[in-house]
Amino acid sequence: MRFSYRNSGNRAIGFCEVGITTVEGKMRVTVKELSDNPGMSICNAFEDLFTQVCNLFELPPDEVEWVEHWPAWTAKEGGYNRPEESWHRVDFDLVDGRAINPRWTPLNREKD
């Protein structure tokens, strides 16, 4: 589903795709960067995006596994060439229900 978000450091509204699934009893939120996103990227807006998704969908922050997906695209599609897609799990610390200190770990989509 297309999701709009606002980052506290950027006035432009961002857009991404959000999918919520259950994997091995844990809620997995997958956010996908869009080539036409006019706002801050999903990784640079992580803290605000995480909070907004959890609030809207009433997800307990301490039970969410967060995955970011960056698809491949051409300069014509996204303003620059991105020849390979990437997937990352984002680990983070929670302080007062707010995600901070994000850490990205590449995922192998065939194994993870």
Give domain status of residue 111, yes or no: no
Task: Quote the number of domains for the chain.
Answer: 1
Backbone φ and ψ of 104, nearest 5°: -100, 130
Domain residues for the domain of 10 are 2-106
Backbone φ and ψ of 46, nearest 5°: -45, -55
Query: Residue 112 pLDDT more than 70?
Result: no
Integer Cα distance of 76 and 80 in angstroms:
7
For 39-93, the pLDDT digits (tens) are 999 999 999 999 999 999 999 999 999 999 999 998 888 778 888 999 999 999 9
**Whole-model pTM?**
0.89
Give domain status of residue 68, yes or no: yes
Give domain status of residue 85, yes or no: yes
Structure confidence at residue 110 as a pLDDT band (50, 70, 90)? low
pLDDT at 78: 79
pLDDT at 91: 96
Give domain status of residue 54, yes or no: yes
